[in-house]
Amino acid sequence: MAITTAPKLTRRPTPADSTFRYMCLGAGVLVLIVLGLITYTMTTKSWDAVSHMGLSFFTDKHWDIANQHYGALSYIFGTLYSATIAILLAVPLSLGIALFTTQVAPLWLKRPITYLIDLLAVVPSVVWGLWGALVLAAPIRTFFNHIHDIFKDVPVLGTIFGAAQGKSFSTAGIILAVMIIPIITSLSREVMETVPPTDREGALALGATRWEMIKGTVLPHSRTGIIGAVMLGLGRAMGETIAAALVIGGAAQISSNAFASGDSLPAVIANQWSEADTLQKSALIGLAMTLFAMTLIVNLIANSVVNRSERRRAV
Amino acid sequence: MAATTRISGIGGGGQPATRTVAPDLRAQKSWRRTKSGIMQWLMGASIVVALLPVIFVVITVIGKGASSVFTGFPKFLTAAIPNQERKVGPGMGPAVVGTLLITALATAIAVPLGILGAVYLHEYGGRSPFAKVVRFLSNVMTGVPSIVMGLFIYVIFTLNFGYSGLGGALALAFLMLPIIIRSVEVMLKLVPTSLREASYALGTSKSRTVLTVVLPSALPGVISGCLLAVARAAGETAPLLFTIFTVNQTNRNVFSGANTTLSRQIFSNALSSLSGAQGRAWGAALTLLAIAFLFTIIARIASARFSAKR
């Protein structure tokens, strides 16, 4: 507790009291220990492969198991590309949902919407993956090819919307987007709910329409929180394994074509682990270390941003 | 602009006595209002767009999984997994047993630790620098990819003790831990300080206050938070790839020997092109979805009762 000036009114701690206190402290410390051990084990266990390849482990795009040549770049690219597509799709939808729930919907409708959107998070990722691979992949290829036909002669868009595969960066992006919508929505909703009612009513009283009120008061007020929410979503999208493993296509390539098959760091680990020899396992742990570092950076920034916006609100 | 026309409508004329009809103060049609309306429609539409995939998934899983699960019910949930992928028919018995046992063990590990951690953060640590660090890193830990957690347990546990359900449970428990810490801390914040003070005034020690006053009054919220974490853990696949391996026979001993879960079976069968394996994958997906929804609904009821009590 923060009280420092008030006299201590609690009884002197008994042995049982101290024991309980240390148990609680221990559980808190466990978090630090686990994070520290993850860093330590990932680094040491991947050392064989990373020292075998040198720095080219991160900069080489060839992953050649037969020749024991392990370059992670195309997987790093695939992770970032599919996560970017997911963010581009998920952010407008999530903000739309959050704004609708907090600013537009009548009171009685708020809770049902929240529950329904949370259902997206209840469906396990392996079920999304199963659906994506066996049901979505075929029709989405036709759909992607329609987009390809429209844009194929346009200079830049033609290379982004290239010839389509059913399992591709975009298929993974769509599935990942659905999976991160709940977290971005709920965090943005929380910050939007803290917009002072006087600000909103003031804007409306000045004759602003509802949308102008949102643009003028709600969005500026919750900008930091929304950025934090989006970054947390990005971290989730990068680390999501099974759904990506089932729908991204399993092709190690760097291509600007969003409709081409690719592969992501977690998907490679999941798909290659069972048949890997010792050095390859070490290389796969190297991929996990890379992924851990990437998500850690994103999460550290995201949590700092969220904390800062919370502190500003508390003042 | 709408505002000016309205004002001239009120003030204009200069002969108020002759006015008989009240001025129309309703919003005038204008591009600004149309735009606002369009944006609000788009917001509403984004809900529908986001819900479409989940509706499709639930319908597909029920449509394709029901025939597997309910043919000769409950044989699908009890029979062993066929050794050959091309065999058509049940079952998923070992996976059902594995899912329940491993999730239960993970819950038994994560819930006490998570509650203790949250009690430390809210009741003991508070705003101290160390508690702030723990809270921050606990939030960061929520974002650790599940596959990284799986490999971590593989390195520190499975390499030393071999494949077992316990390894999988440990990985799931560490994934649940920060979620539980966070949700329980939120619930502890809702417990009024006056309750704690009343307890201290009676001469109760801090640990007794926490255990007999604070936690019981936050109980429904705590249960709800834990159940949501359980629902997520039950569907996890990635960390189990390295820690439990997979088997086709039921292994009731979670502490030793390879095991299997529904999620693990869906993953391996989804990669198969054979209809027998795919049918079992859909059946397993339906079972898993049912388990996840069940936990979520119970959690919702618990939290609804909690907020009704406040």
Domain of residue A92, residue span: 75-276
Residue A222 lies inside a defined structural domain of this protein: yes
Q: Do B270 and B198 form a contact (C-beta atoms < 8 A)?
A: no
| Confidence tier at B273 by pLDDT (50, 70, 90) | confident
Task: Indicate the angle between helix axes A278-314 and A265-272, nearest 10 degrees.
Answer: 140
Q: Considering only B12-21, B139-148, B274-283, which range has the smallest mean pLDDT?
A: B12-21
Residue A155 lies inside a defined structural domain of this protein: yes
| Confidence tier at B146 by pLDDT (50, 70, 90) | very high
| Confidence tier at B24 by pLDDT (50, 70, 90) | confident
Residue A289 lies inside a defined structural domain of this protein: no
Contacts of B36 in chain A (CB under 8 A): 209-212
Q: Which domains does chain B have, with CATH numbers?
A: 93-309 (1.10.3720.10)
Residue A41 lies inside a defined structural domain of this protein: no
Compute the distance between CA of residue B163 and CA of residue B240 in angstroms, rounded to an integer: 10
CATH number at residue A216: 1.10.3720.10
Distances (CA, A) of A15 to A8, B87, B113, B211: 18, 62, 20, 15
**Total structural domains in chain A?**
1
Determine, for residues B177 and A28 on separate chains, whether the beta-carbon distance falls below 8 Å. no
Interface of A with B in 154-173 (CB under 8 A): none
Determine, for residues B60 and A131 on separate chains, whether the beta-carbon distance falls below 8 Å. yes
| Confidence tier at B299 by pLDDT (50, 70, 90) | confident
Residue A58 lies inside a defined structural domain of this protein: no
What pLDDT does residue A314 have? 62
B28 inside 8 A of chain A by CB: no
Residue A66 lies inside a defined structural domain of this protein: no
Interface of A with B in 10-69 (CB under 8 A): 10-11, 13-14, 16-17, 19-21, 23-32, 34-35, 37-38, 41-42, 45
Distances (CA, A) of B31 to A43, A58, A168, B1, B2: 59, 53, 41, 9, 10
Q: Chain B: residue nearest A297 by CA?
A: B140
Residue-wise pLDDT tens digits, B86-102: 888 888 899 999 999 99
At position A179, the amino acid (one-letter code) is: M
Residue A62 lies inside a defined structural domain of this protein: no
What pLDDT does residue A309 have? 77
What pLDDT does residue B8 have? 44
* Of B32, B152, B232, Cβ closest to residue A209: B32
What pLDDT does residue B270 have? 87
B149 inside 8 A of chain A by CB: yes
Residue-wise pLDDT tens digits, B164-196: 999 999 999 999 999 999 999 999 999 999 999
Q: How many alpha carbons fall within 13 Å on the CB side of residue B172?
A: 33
Residues in chain A, total: 315
The low-confidence residues of chain A, meaning pLDDT below 50, are 1
What pLDDT does residue B6 have? 45
Average pLDDT, chain B: 88
What pLDDT does residue A76 have? 95
Residue B202's region, left for phi above 0, alpha for psi from -120 to 50, else beta, is alpha
Tell me if residue A259 falls in helix, strand or coil.
coil
Does residue B151 surpass a pLDDT of 90? yes
Residue-wise pLDDT tens digits, B29-83: 788 889 999 999 999 999 999 999 999 999 999 999 998 888 888 888 888 888 8
Does residue B84 surpass a pLDDT of 90? no
Contacts of A181 in chain B (CB under 8 A): 50
At position A93, the amino acid (one-letter code) is: L
What pLDDT does residue A12 have? 67
* Of A1, A285, A298, Cβ closest to residue B126: A1
Residue A288 lies inside a defined structural domain of this protein: no
